[in-house]
A and B are shown apart, each in its own frame.
Chain A
């Protein structure tokens, strides 16, 4: 009466295919970590390298005749440029998100959103040359008279910030749009103004999404290679003055990787050590952010 049980081969095939799809990204991640870790261990086994020197030395000259392997200049370069980028991207990105989600009339929104997505589609190499050939000479030097070097961390950082504005704005806006309109109505019903509704109800309710947007932006800034390679230069330095050239971890990896260093040399292995360091820094940022989001999440349903 209930029919004969059929063998659901189709179901099984689909399940297996979908599992493979999910497993692929996990396997690739594991593979990357393993290959990074292997070369990194070899790097530290090299007699010219010590872990203490790697963490504390102030000079990064892996390709010199008497190499020094202090990673600090690269880490500092990355942090300074990321910080400048976030100073640009967080206020502009979150401001854009609040505007689009709470204030913008339909017609303005219909124009601004695609434009923002266009900005997200600009190749970073274009951003890099924009920074090098227009932003630094014309805006920073001729108009603002900041007297910066041709290659400098300021232009790199600001343009990295511009690059991540769409990411921050779009993720934060999604989070704000997802806040139920009943919460807004409740606040308006109590006599709150639009600004109060935005800042006291919508942003707090969307906080976990807003933080996710900022972290995603920060991760992209930390990992950005092309812009900083072109615009910020390749001078590892412990100077914090962003008007000078600086080199980030990614710029070192990019520049050295395309160069002609012999495979297996210490300089070659240094690429992986720096990559591993970058991986750990990004992991730290993400972990802290996830904790923050869990702690301050506002559940509204």
Chain B
């Protein structure tokens, strides 16, 4: 298809998917078919999501004045797992980092458009990014525990936030929620770098949970882990989603299919030439439908492995 066709084809059609809203995560690597209503020309904003934890409107990120991602408009539901998938450079991590204002740390980055968090403008003039990050936890691609003891890693967040309460209890609760307590309860004073990669990543999840956030953002949390550790993190995500909303960026389509309730598919738009790569949101909807009945041919090509 010509570039012009693609452009006119843009933004996604989503089903009026009341029936799919609480689709349980698809466990199998090959997702089971989900009944899909007839496709209609819908906006990418999923109106079926009544109480979104995030809502983005025309969100765009520019690095040094050059757009990296454009026109992302979507609602992310509460207490569900939302996956961002797409080829490298499509801006999925960039959008994720907008959700807790981590892009503020990059001096050349500029964010345009709106991000609403429980209806509040995250980029409003009076909003302190430090306050935002207290409520929205983040887990990174490579496990990044602090070079301190296991205990001190968990206690770090509560301490910098000045949380009151028994620190031992806070640490134990966080470790239990990350199903790490039994592994480490006898060596809380040991350096976190003595743990395996998978344990370190669960420690990072526990560390993020210790401050009691209501959202957990995960930026390819399993890309550095072996399949067994990956499986444990995925089980953990299922356990956690009753209490926190999770947004996960993943390169691994099977992972998105296994863990997420909703999937957003991003692409790299090369219309402006090879040096003007712009990420765009193509399609967003219940995971089962995205994988079995995508409405956009680019999504279909990607999820069936024809490109990307």
Contact of A191 among B134, B142, B193 (CB under 8 A): B134
B105 beta carbon closer than 8 Å to chain A: yes
Establish whether residues A191 and B191, one from each chain, have CB atoms under 8 Å apart when the complex forms.
no
B207 beta carbon closer than 8 Å to chain A: yes
Establish whether residues B147 and A298, one from each chain, have CB atoms under 8 Å apart when the complex forms.
yes
Establish whether residues B191 and A200, one from each chain, have CB atoms under 8 Å apart when the complex forms.
no
Q: Mark B100-141, 1 if CB is under 8 A from A, else 0.
A: 101001010000000000000000000000110111011010
CA–CA, A301 and B144, complex, Å: 9
A13 beta carbon closer than 8 Å to chain B: no
Given known A185-B102, A190-B211, A191-B134, contact A105–B107 (CB-CB < 8 A): yes
A223 beta carbon closer than 8 Å to chain B: no
Interface size on B, residues (CB 8 A): 28
A193 beta carbon closer than 8 Å to chain B: yes
Note all chain B residues with C-beta closer than 8 A to A192.
130, 156-157, 160
A254 beta carbon closer than 8 Å to chain B: no
* A193 nearest CB neighbor, chain B only: B130
B63 beta carbon closer than 8 Å to chain A: no
CA–CA, A204 and B138, complex, Å: 22
Establish whether residues B147 and A189, one from each chain, have CB atoms under 8 Å apart when the complex forms.
no
CA–CA, A201 and B2, complex, Å: 51
CA–CA, A180 and B145, complex, Å: 11
Chain B CB within 10 Å, residue with most, of A184, A186, A192, A196: A186
B18 beta carbon closer than 8 Å to chain A: no
* B105 nearest CB neighbor, chain A only: A188
Establish whether residues B142 and A299, one from each chain, have CB atoms under 8 Å apart when the complex forms.
no
Note all chain B residues with C-beta closer than 8 A to A105.
107
In the assembled complex, the CB of B209 is this many whole angstroms from the nearest CB of chain A, namely 11
Establish whether residues B133 and A189, one from each chain, have CB atoms under 8 Å apart when the complex forms.
yes
In the assembled complex, the CB of B249 is this many whole angstroms from the nearest CB of chain A, namely 14
The range of chain A's interface size is 20 to 34
Contact of A190 among B107, B160, B191 (CB under 8 A): B160
* A189 nearest CB neighbor, chain B only: B138
Establish whether residues A182 and B140, one from each chain, have CB atoms under 8 Å apart when the complex forms.
yes
B178 beta carbon closer than 8 Å to chain A: no
Note all chain A residues with C-beta closer than 8 A to B147.
183, 204-205, 298-300
Given known A193-B130, A205-B147, contact A186–B161 (CB-CB < 8 A): no
B208 beta carbon closer than 8 Å to chain A: yes
Given known A191-B134, A299-B193, contact A185–B144 (CB-CB < 8 A): yes
Note all chain B residues with C-beta closer than 8 A to A294.
none
Establish whether residues B208 and A200, one from each chain, have CB atoms under 8 Å apart when the complex forms.
no
* A194 nearest CB neighbor, chain B only: B130
Chain B CB within 10 Å, residue with most, of A180, A188, A193, A205: A188
Establish whether residues A106 and B107, one from each chain, have CB atoms under 8 Å apart when the complex forms.
yes
Establish whether residues B102 and A191, one from each chain, have CB atoms under 8 Å apart when the complex forms.
no
CA–CA, A188 and B217, complex, Å: 13
CA–CA, A183 and B145, complex, Å: 7
CA–CA, A300 and B193, complex, Å: 7
Note all chain A residues with C-beta closer than 8 A to B211.
190-191
Note all chain B residues with C-beta closer than 8 A to A187.
146, 156, 160
In the assembled complex, the CB of A196 is this many whole angstroms from the nearest CB of chain B, namely 5
Contacts from B to A (Cβ < 8 Å): 100, 102, 105, 107, 130-131, 133-135, 137-138, 140, 142, 144-148, 156-157, 160-161, 191, 193, 204, 207-208, 211
Known contacts A186-B140, A187-B146, A191-B133, then 14 further A-B pairs from the complex at CB < 8 Å, ordered by chain A residue? A182-B142, A185-B102, A185-B105, A186-B145, A186-B207, A187-B160, A189-B138, A190-B134, A191-B130, A191-B134, A191-B157, A299-B193, A300-B193, A301-B193
Contacts from A to B (Cβ < 8 Å): 105-106, 180, 182-193, 196, 200-201, 204-205, 298-301
Q: Can you list the 10 inter-chain pairs with the closest CB atoms, starting with the nearest?
A: A191-B134, A298-B147, A189-B138, A190-B157, A182-B144, A300-B147, A186-B144, A191-B133, A192-B160, A196-B160
Q: List 29 interface pairs A-B (beta carbons < 8 Å), by A numbering.
A: A183-B146, A183-B147, A184-B105, A185-B105, A185-B144, A186-B144, A186-B146, A186-B204, A186-B207, A187-B146, A187-B160, A188-B102, A188-B105, A189-B133, A189-B140, A189-B208, A190-B137, A190-B156, A190-B207, A190-B211, A191-B130, A191-B131, A191-B160, A200-B160, A201-B146, A204-B147, A204-B148, A205-B146, A300-B147
